[in-house]
A and B are shown apart, each in its own frame.
Chain A
Amino acid sequence: MTSDSGAFATYYPTLLRYAAVAVGLAVLMYGVYRLLRWLGVKREAATGFALVLPWVVGFLGFVLFPIALSFYLSFTEYNVLWDKPRSLEDPLFNYKRALSIRVVELDEGQRPLQVLGVLESPSPETVRFRELDRIRWGGKTYLIGATDPFFLKAIWLTLRYAVLNIPLGLVGALCVALLLNQKVKGIGFWRTLYYLPAVLPAAAVALLWFWLFAPTSGLINSMLKPVYNLLDMQPMGWFTEKDLVLPSFVIMGLWGVFGANTVILLAGLKNIPAELYEAAAIDGAGTWTKFRHITIPMLSPALFYNLVTGTIAALQIFTQQAFIPTNRDDGWFVNWFVYNEAFNFGRMGYASALGWMLTLMIVVLTLFIFRSSSAWVFYEGMRRDRGKG
């Protein structure tokens, strides 16, 4: 009984704040409504603005403000346990730390750390160049050193993941959508079945695949056992072997992408007028010609949408990795890297800078896709750059 009353005492401030926010929002909505009416805005419009206000306040407070704050933090040194961020002598230090690269010659008997040196920038800590790669040219060995080779490797892994995952996901989803567009018995069941992965929680899916890929007890290696025996090889360590980390994540990533993409492409297929196929058939077009010259162009807006959202999602892969431990040197994606810098190494300022670099990467790639779309996306039979005419 006493602990119950103690619990109320503990949660009371939260309850009070919650009520205060509710009342404050209600007052604000009413105030905005009255203000707009006073300014001569029509009743319907003023009501609409007032009703949308809680969302706007939430957006400003919980989305826009953190985004702006992270941009500011990226120029500071900040551990979340500190009261406030500390300013950096060199405001660009976090960005330099992430991207600095140096190439030096390595003589016989020298160790890389001895020759690579440290980052010459005013910094709160020693930042040392570490070996990223080495090349042999003209009988000499050159070291490529980076101040954060793990981040550069994470970018490389993430890009490779996106390059493999996106086209495979699109092609796979297109094939499934074409199959589901056929007039077969129980089509509703098959559509539900293929969409199911898209609604499963990512964490549950990650754990399921972790089990499927387990070295010996996993289903995949069990099924491959005859092949291993035939080739006299050890079972593959899917998430543990350096070269298999990427394929494992790509296969797992396709699982969820299939369902969501398929539904959108299926809707696109349904919207293609049947008379186009009929006209093409009268002209003697075969299945491939119809697919190439009718289905693909008419479906290009849906493919374009899937490509843009798929690219953004692939570059931000996080949840799966949170449940599947991999090696930092060759198995961390950028978002996971950012999270660890922020919360495990106490470098929120640096993590913010990395986050902004990831954002920049996504924006550049998305813009590139948008620019390229004028050449291959068609609306109502017209290419995107020519508009409707």
Chain B
Amino acid sequence: MTKYVRIAVLVLLVAALLPVSAVIGSAAGAQGKVALRVTNWAGVEEAAEFQEIVDAVNAASETFEIVYEPKPDAYYTQLQTALAGETAPDLFWLDQDHMAWAYEGVLLDISDYLAADDRDVANPDDYFAGVWQTVALADGIYGLPWIAQPVVLFYNRDIFDAMGVEYPTADWTWEQFREAAVALTTENHYGFTMNGWPPIHMFIWSFGGEVISEDLKTSPIDTPEAMAGAAFYAGMIWNEECCPSEQTIAEQGFGEMFKAGKVAMFMGGAADDLDRVEGLNVGISPVPKGVTGENVTFAWTAATVINAKTEYPDEAYEALVALTEGIHNWKIVSPRVSQANVEHLVASEPRKAANAEAILEAVPYMRAFRIIPRFGEWSTIFWEDFQAPLFRGEDTVENLAADARILLEDVLPK
């Protein structure tokens, strides 16, 4: 008998937990709001700043309550597993490389929502075209970009002054840039540095080539223009006439060498902190102009997207718009044309006041990757079969480009 009493008590105790959690759990529901989960890769500081945006959005909303779950470690593996297990958050961040997930059907197409929405943040025409292409995939629109960070040229004014070299301008050609890099190289410092970054793609674009055609069906990296851009890059990387060797970079750090005053020019994202290193007098310029006369540059971009399996697509869309509006006033550079001005940039990041104009000069010519379904695999082939052997001088650019094109086009959509 005692045994049955014990079992009954145990079952009652477990059962007693249910109504308690039900009462607590329905707290949000009682306020008439649905709970939406959002995640991103933010670390401690960035997550705290993002939480402020979430709190403001929550305070203004009568229909939803956002619960923020930052995941700074193994973000994409966790997210992928959660999507597979159908436990993924309602909204999440994806960088442009992972926007290819849209082709796998896990992201909500927000085209209809956007068509019915007249707010500026929901207007596709207000986004830079080179950035918008990362969310406008196939026949749908799969998120809203929240950042468009163009690659710009950071330069150490003190080294330029000491060497008697003119500061870079938007009118520099790539040849002038290379000559300056050589002229700025001495025993104490190098003129420039490359290590696979900045992306070779922007050099190919700047020289008039493409890595993926507009219709996404070819990878014409063996055209004379594309090979000229790639050859220019290969001619400078790890070449000690202008740049540190691979070994030196491994030992002393890539960006660290610029911060230590050992490199005169560095290409980095506009939001990087390279222009506020103590003791360093740093200026910013757009990257050199290419064959078309434009300062074509790479844009690092990312978007907030909605889980295709969200229970609350209407509320999730509203949350997406509200969050994106908040982030556009936080991160630089905003991907919206109407916000590409000094006032908005400085209001978002006051520490960039001195270089705001130079950053904005780079913005009109920035472009992101063209996203294809198997983008990760394409990128791996592009690195392993083209860039890496080219940089190490294992074969001619002609041979490598011809071979790599075959392999790259195997993974393009048919």
- CB-defined contacts of B59 to chain A, threshold 8 Å: 2
Complex interface: stretch among B22-30, B194-202, B333-341: B22-30
Instruction: Decide yes or no whether A244 CB sits under 8 A from chain B.
Output: no
Check if A329 sits within 8 Å of B67, measured CB to CB: no
Contact of A128 among B21, B84, B407 (CB under 8 A): B407
Contacts of B377 in A (CB 8 A): 345-346
A12: chain B residues at CB < 8 Å are 21-22, 24-26
Are A26 and B11 in contact (CB-based, < 8 A)? yes
What string of 1s and 0s marks CB contacts (under 8 Å) between A87-130 and chain B?
A: 00000000000000000000000011100000000000110101
**B384: contacting residue among A10, A125, A329, CB under 8 A:** A329
Residue B315 at the chain A interface, CB threshold 8 Å: no
A76-84, A259-267, A281-289, A355-363: which lies at the B interface?
A76-84
B104 touches A125 (CB 8 A): no
Report A-chain residues with C-beta under 8 Å of the C-beta of B24.
Answer: 5, 8, 12
Q: Which single residue of chain A is at the shortest CB-CB distance from B18?
A: A19
Q: Per-residue 0/1 for A46-77: is the Cβ within 8 Å of any B Cβ (1 yes, 0 no)?
A: 00000000000000000000000000000000
Q: Is the CB of A217 within 8 A of B35?
A: no
Cβ-defined contact, A82 with B29, below 8 A = no
Contacts of B26 in A (CB 8 A): 9, 12
Flag whether A328 is at the interface (Cβ < 8 A).
Answer: yes
The answer, yes or no, to whether A163 is at the interface (CB within 8 Å) is: no
| Minimum CB distance partner of B33 in chain A | A6
Q: Mark B115-148, 1 if CB is under 8 A from A, else 0.
A: 0000000000000000000000000000000000
Cα–Cα, bound, A343→B14 (Å): 38
Q: Is the interface of B mostly helix, strand, loop or mixed?
A: helix
Interface string of B19-55 (1 = CB under 8 A from A): 0011011111101010101000000000000000011
Task: Count chain B CB atoms within 10 A of each CB in A3, A82, A237 and give the residue with the most.
Answer: A3
Mask for B376-414, Cβ within 8 A of A = 1, else 0?
110010001000000000000001001100110011000
User: Least Cβ distance of A307 to chain B in Å?
Assistant: 34
Chain A residues within 8 Å of B29, by CB = 9
Chain B residues, CB < 8 A from A366: none
- In angstroms, Cα B376 to Cα A328, docked, is 14
Q: Does B65 contact A (CB under 8 A)?
A: yes
A255 located at the interface, meaning its Cβ lies under 8 Å from any Cβ of chain B in the complex: no
B358 at the interface (CB under 8 A from A): no
Question: CA–CA, A125 to B105, complex, Å?
Answer: 19
A8 lies within 8 A of B37 (CB): no
Is A215 at the interface (CB under 8 A from chain B)?
A: yes
Number of interface residues of B (CB under 8 A): 52
* Interface assignment of B77: CB less than 8 Å from any CB of chain A: yes
Name B87's closest neighbour in chain A (CB-CB): A14
Q: Does A23 count as interface, using CB distance less than 8 angstroms?
A: yes
A150 CB → nearest B CB, Å: 9
In Å, the complex CA distance between A83 and B410 comes to 25
B17 within 8 Å of A by Cβ? yes
Query: Residues of B contacting A345 with CB < 8 Å?
Result: 374, 376-377, 380
Known: A5-B28, A80-B83. A113 touches B106 (CB 8 A): no
- Does B174 interact with chain A (Cβ within 8 Å)? no
Does A309 have its Cβ within 8 Å of any Cβ on chain B? no
Q: Which residue of A lies closest to B373 (CB)?
A: A346
Which residues of chain A from 329 to 384 have a CB within 8 Å of any chain B CB?
329, 343-346
Q: Does B176 contact A (CB under 8 A)?
A: no
- Chain B residues closer than 8 Å to A234, beta-carbon distance: 247
Closest to B85 in A: A80
Given known A23-B14, A30-B7, A113-B406, contact A15–B21 (CB-CB < 8 A): yes
Give bound CA distance, A80 to B85, whole Å: 9
Instruction: Give A111 to B404 CA distance when docked, in angstroms.
Output: 12
Total contacting residues, chain A, CB less than 8 A: 41
Instruction: Specify which chain B residues have a CB less than 8 angstroms from the CB of A216 in the assembled complex.
Output: 251
Interface string of B240-279 (1 = CB under 8 A from A): 0000000100110000000000000000000000000000
- B1: Cβ under 8 A from any A Cβ: no
Interface pair A111/B37, CB less than 8 Å apart: no
How far apart are A73's CB and chain B's nearest CB, in angstroms? 12
Question: For residues 128 through 164 of chain A, which have their beta carbon under 8 Å from a beta carbon of chain B?
Answer: 128, 130
Cα separation A217 to B250 with both chains bound (whole Å): 10
Asked if B84 contacts A81 (CB within 8 A), the reply is yes
B186 within 8 A of A: no
The distance from the CB of A54 to the nearest CB of chain B, in whole angstroms, is: 14
Asked if A19 contacts B17 (CB within 8 A), the reply is: yes
Hey, what's the 0/1 contact readout for B88-124 against A, CB within 8 Å counting as 1? 0000000000000100111000000000000000000
Tell me which residues across on chain B come within 8 A of A125, comparing CB atoms. Answer: 410-411
Residues of B within 8 A of A26 (CB): 10-11, 14
Closest to B15 in A: A23
A6 touches B403 (CB 8 A): no
CA of A132 to CA of B74, assembled, Å: 32
A328 partner residues in chain B, CB cutoff 8 A? 380, 384
Which B residues are CB-close (under 8 A) to A130? 407
Known pairs A2-B65, A3-B67, A240-B250; A9 contacts B374 (CB<8 A)? no
A7 within 8 A of partner (CB): yes
Answer whether residue B58 sits at the interface, using C-beta atoms and an 8 A cutoff: yes
A82 touches B21 (CB 8 A): no
CB distance from A239 to the nearest CB of B (A): 11
Residues of B within 8 A of A111 (CB): 399, 402-403
Cβ contact within 8 Å between B104 and A346? yes
Q: Give Cα distance in the complex from A360 to B384, angstroms.
A: 30
Interface positions, chain A 176-227, Cβ under 8 Å from B, are 215-217
- Establish whether residues B21 and A2, one from each chain, have CB atoms under 8 Å apart when the complex forms: no
Q: How far is A2 from B10 in the complex, measured between Cα atoms in Å? A: 33
CA A25 – CA B369 in complex, angstroms? 51
Residues from chain A with a CB closer than 8 A to the CB of B25 are 8-9, 11-12, 15-16
Interface: A45 (CB within 8 A): no
Q: Is the CB of B35 within 8 A of A343?
A: no
Q: Is B281 an interface residue (CB 8 A)?
A: no
A171 located at the interface, meaning its Cβ lies under 8 Å from any Cβ of chain B in the complex: no
**In the complex, which residues of chain B have a beta carbon less than 8 angstroms from the beta carbon of A329?**
384
Closest A residue by C-beta to B107: A81
Instruction: Determine how close the nearest CB of chain A comes to the CB of B9; give it in whole angstroms.
Output: 12
Q: Does B80 contact A (CB under 8 A)?
A: yes
Q: How far, in angstroms, from A79 to B7 measured CA to CA in the complex?
A: 45
Select A79's contact among B35, B76, B77, B104, beta carbons within 8 Å.
B104
B213 in the interface (beta carbon within 8 A): no
Tell me whether A22 is interfacial, beta carbon within 8 Å: yes
| 9 nearest CB pairs, A to B | A12-B25, A5-B27, A6-B65, A9-B28, A81-B104, A80-B84, A9-B35, A126-B410, A216-B251
13 additional A-B pairs beyond A8-B28, A81-B105, beta carbons within 8 Å, are A2-B28, A3-B58, A6-B28, A10-B35, A16-B18, A16-B22, A113-B403, A126-B410, A215-B247, A215-B251, A328-B380, A343-B77, A344-B376
| A-B residue pairs in contact (CB < 8 Å), sample of 7 | A6-B66, A7-B67, A9-B25, A19-B21, A26-B14, A79-B104, A216-B251
Which positions in B face A, CB cutoff 8 Å?
7, 10-11, 14-15, 17-18, 21-22, 24-29, 31, 33, 35, 37, 54-55, 58-59, 65-68, 76-77, 80-81, 83-84, 101, 104-106, 247, 250-251, 374, 376-377, 380, 384, 399, 402-403, 406-407, 410-411
